[in-house]
Structure 1
Amino acid sequence: MKTQENGNTHKGYRRIIPSMTALLEFEAVARHGSFTLAARELGVTQAAVSKQVRQLEENLRVQLFQRLHRGIRLTSEGQALFSVLSESLQKVAAVFDRLGEGNSEQELILSTTATFSQLRVMPRLGRLREAMPQVRLRLATQMFTGDLRNQDVDLLVRYGDGRWTDGHAVQLFEEEIFPVCSPAWLARNGAPDSLEALYDTDLLDADATTEGWMTWPTWFRELGEHPPKLRYSLRCHLYTDTIQAALHGHGVALGWGRMLDHLLASGELVRLTDLVVRPREAYYLVVPHGRDTTATVLGLVDWLRS
């Protein structure tokens, strides 16, 4: 007697999925948000990619993309297909990568900003090797975090309110912000005895980012102060450069406590005052839709919190 199998398996994948090529080209278009960029990656013409996607839509009898005046956008059906396809292809690619290198290690691509990578991740790599020796980390460092659909990453660190539509967010930790300087600067200048005195110190600052990065004027306003035009000793594009300037004794920077805890613990930086601002936002580890929050992911959460 013939056993009843799963309907999809019984039909055979080839009958259900007429063209793997079309799926691969659809995934590239969805990931890039562009037929042109997908064609460039795949080494084919834009017309060929467009034709494959059209045929896929006809086979499925659904529209996968909204064709807009200046671009494209996934429909809800397209998003559903992309989520499961992206996860599946990355799992296949990971197996190929692992088999090709002849090892059983698990590589995870973690996307972070340069600040988080240099100040939070790098000091803790030794602990990761001890706690999770099977994990190989690949850092995808960038200026700002963005849409997960446009990134070939497994996990992403974000700072914000945790309400994002392209993945599941697991809170890492909240933040607190306070003035910091080097012991040498403090010995030369002494601690300011008021907020007004802090206005006139050698302030170091970094440019604000789209992620809600706090600058000196914002920090003062959060404390109910409205200082006059501030005098900066140095302004930097990157926060990491601002911290380097503080370490070298060039002035007072805003210290993001969770980024600088190792420098404060070692005494390389010190808190200048007890004044502190606690933002409403927090740091999160974002798992893209279609992927599971596995034991490995939770292990990385514990490591990043440590």
Structure 2
Amino acid sequence: MHRLPPLNAVRTFEAAARLGSFVLAAAELGVSSAAVSQQVRHLEGYFGKKLFVRNGNRLSLTDAGHGIYPQTSRALGDIAAMTVRLLEGEMRTRLIVSVPFSLAECWLAPRLSELLETYPQLSVDVRVEDDPVDLARHDVDLRVSYGDYHYPSCEAIALFHDEVLPVCAPELWYRHGNKHFDLAQLHESLFIHTQWGPNYASHPTWSDWFSSEPGHHSPDPARGRRSGLSSLSVTLATLGMGVALGQKAIVQRHLDAGRLIALSARELKLGHGYCGFVPGAKQSRADVQRLIGLLRRLG
């Protein structure tokens, strides 16, 4: 083991040297001025050097004091930083994930559940918000976004490329012909149209769906049900309010549970894939990498 000076005396010296006062050092350390003076004398005795010179109320470092102060300050700063890292890690690992509204409940939540089954000590903060998000200001660890263009300062990590397919509730299917259900013959009022908003123009519409069908049926959105969220369109479909072009990532659990029926095996890809964005300083975090791996595996 390396020979070390008395560490409490070193800490007291550093405070007095930094603040230029035994009184201020005593206030910071929560001790008396006499205790500070005693610790400094103890360190001076250890080194056999005078570390401070008093000129009235003024306190200044000697040449020996100047010689040890920079290394002392750096060493105590490193110990303090190490302590914060370890204590924060012991208390809680917080994972801040930001997602679009449509993906939060049906896509992200089940995947986080699987992650937390394996790592129950994780504390997860899910933030549901539209692009763009100030990742640094809001301390976001992972942002999931549609497309790879919102965050040019971060590397885009491809997660999955979703498709849409026509779905409806079983009761609607039974009510409109069961096995003879014909989308082309369905009244326009029963089509659910997702309004993607002014910033997006790459999502498939019902017109796109019918473009390859004979007769090219094109339901009028003004005469149907309209929704501003793809997840809401799926919810309306599960309630039997119409037929939706549901994103597979959102409808799959409903299909598996029998709450929805797929009306065709034909799927249309979205214009862009979903990507993850991680600020550079957080890319090496194990919890972030575990979540990215899970999201890429499950798609």
Q: Please tell me the TM-score bracket, short chain as reference.
A: 0.5 to 0.7
Question: CA–CA distance in 2 between the matches of 1:167 and 1:288?
Answer: 6
Q: Deviation at 1:166?
A: 2.2
Deviation readout 1:120-152 (Å, 9 max, x if unpaired): 122333312112223211011113444535543
Question: CA–CA distance in 2 between the matches of 1:152 and 1:172?
Answer: 21
Assess, with a 3 A threshold, how the Cα gap between structure 1 residues 214 and 110 changes in structure 2: closer, same or farther: same
Match of 1:270 in 2: 261
SS of the counterpart of 1:214?
coil
Assess, with a 3 A threshold, how the Cα gap between structure 1 residues 113 and 230 changes in structure 2: closer, same or farther: closer
Alignment check: 8 A CA contact 2:204 2:270 kept: no
Q: Deviation at 1:158?
A: 0.8
Question: CA–CA distance in 1 between the matches of 2:96 and 2:244?
Answer: 31
Deviation readout 1:228-278 (Å, 9 max, x if unpaired): 634644212233322221111111011100122211111111111222211
Question: CA–CA distance in 2 between the matches of 1:280 and 1:213?
Answer: 5
Question: CA–CA distance in 2 between the matches of 1:165 and 1:117?
Answer: 23
1:160 to 126, 140, 147: 147
Match of 2:190 in 1: 202
Assess, with a 3 A threshold, how the Cα gap between structure 1 residues 213 and 121 changes in structure 2: closer, same or farther: farther
Question: CA–CA distance in 1 between the matches of 2:180 and 2:204?
Answer: 19
1:279 matched to 2:266? The reply is no
Structural RMSD (CA) = 3.1
Match of 1:245 in 2: 236
Match of 1:64 in 2: none
Question: CA–CA distance in 1 between the matches of 2:277 and 2:226?
Answer: 31
1:259 to 232, 250, 254: 250
Letter of the aligned partner of 1:206 in structure 2?
T
- Give runs of aligned pairs for residues 210-249 of structure 1, distance below 5 A: 210-212=199-201, 214=203, 216-217=205-206, 219-220=208-209, 223=212, 225=216, 227=218, 229-230=220-221, 232-249=223-240
Q: Deviation at 1:156?
A: 0.1
Q: Deviation at 1:288?
A: 1.7
Question: CA–CA distance in 1 between the matches of 2:280 and 2:187?
Answer: 46
Assess, with a 3 A threshold, how the Cα gap between structure 1 residues 297 and 152 changes in structure 2: closer, same or farther: closer
Gaps of 5+ in 2: 1-80
Question: CA–CA distance in 1 between the matches of 2:151 and 2:240?
Answer: 39
Question: CA–CA distance in 2 between the matches of 1:266 and 1:153?
Answer: 33
Q: Based on CA coordinates, which of the two structures has the bigger radius of gyration?
A: 2
1:142 matched to 2:133? The reply is no
Assess, with a 3 A threshold, how the Cα gap between structure 1 residues 145 and 153 changes in structure 2: closer, same or farther: same
Question: CA–CA distance in 2 between the matches of 1:172 and 1:186?
Answer: 33
Gaps of 5+ in 1: 1-91
Assess, with a 3 A threshold, how the Cα gap between structure 1 residues 213 and 206 changes in structure 2: closer, same or farther: farther
Question: CA–CA distance in 1 between the matches of 2:164 and 2:127?
Answer: 26
SS of the counterpart of 1:148?
coil
Assess, with a 3 A threshold, how the Cα gap between structure 1 residues 244 and 291 changes in structure 2: closer, same or farther: same
Question: CA–CA distance in 2 between the matches of 1:133 and 1:252?
Answer: 39
Q: Deviation at 1:162?
A: 6.2
Question: CA–CA distance in 1 between the matches of 2:87 and 2:145?
Answer: 32
Deviation readout 1:47-71 (Å, 9 max, x if unpaired): xxxxxxxxxxxxxxxxxxxxxxxxx
Assess, with a 3 A threshold, how the Cα gap between structure 1 residues 270 and 203 changes in structure 2: closer, same or farther: same
Alignment check: 8 A CA contact 2:146 2:272 kept: yes
Percent of aligned positions that are identical: 27
TM-score (norm 2): 0.60
TM-score (norm 1): 0.59
Q: Deviation at 1:212?
A: 4.9
